[in-house]
Amino acid sequence: MIPKEETIKTDMIYKGKIINLRVDTVKLPDEKSGTREIIEHPGASCIVPITENKKIIMVKQFRKPIEEILIEIPAGKLDEGEDPYDCAIRELKEETGYTAQNVEYLFSFYTSAGFSNEMIYLYVAKDLILGEANPDEGEYIEVEEYSIEELLEMIYNGQIKDSKTIMGILAVKDSLLKK
């Protein structure tokens, strides 16, 4: 059985709009102590929107932490007390303009459990209805459609690097590759 670490003390280093940073002093199984730097994140939802002709709606946007434009599935941070399903629906509409008549939860995952508690909830959307996008202030997005074959090639040649996007595409690929 793997033993747990016991938290002895927590120091909040930074409280921000999106993340908090804390340092926990922990008692290790060998009775020694250590520290853990932990990013607290409220979580997020992402959604794979699939059109009638089996194309996936993707968004392109600049991501400052890596200084690159990424191709991603629509996603966003959970607002305080927000249900992950509602977040996925909201982000789909805000970023792409689409609403969906059929939304299914697939699974959730930690983005990087070694230093963050961020949990992302993954959904798939079908029976899409196009409307008008309404991105958040300061959010500049291009919306594009791709086939599953194009997206898989983009993953394997390094054009798609975002983990939630890779997970979403791989999660729906089998259903889209069926003839």
Number of H helices and E strands in the chain, helices first, is 3, 10
Structure tokens at 71: 């191709």
**One-letter amino acid for residue 103 of the chain:** V
Phi, psi at 105, each rounded to 5°: -75, 135
Strands (DSSP E) found in the chain? 6-15, 20-27, 33-40, 44-49, 55-63, 68-72, 75-77, 98-110, 119-130, 142-147
> Residue 137 catalytic?
yes
Which residues on neighbouring strands pair with residue 147, listed in sequence order? 55
Amino acid at 90: R
| Catalytic residue (choose from 31, 52, 132, 137) | 137
Residue 141 phi/psi, 5° resolution? -130, 140
Active-site residues, by number, are 137
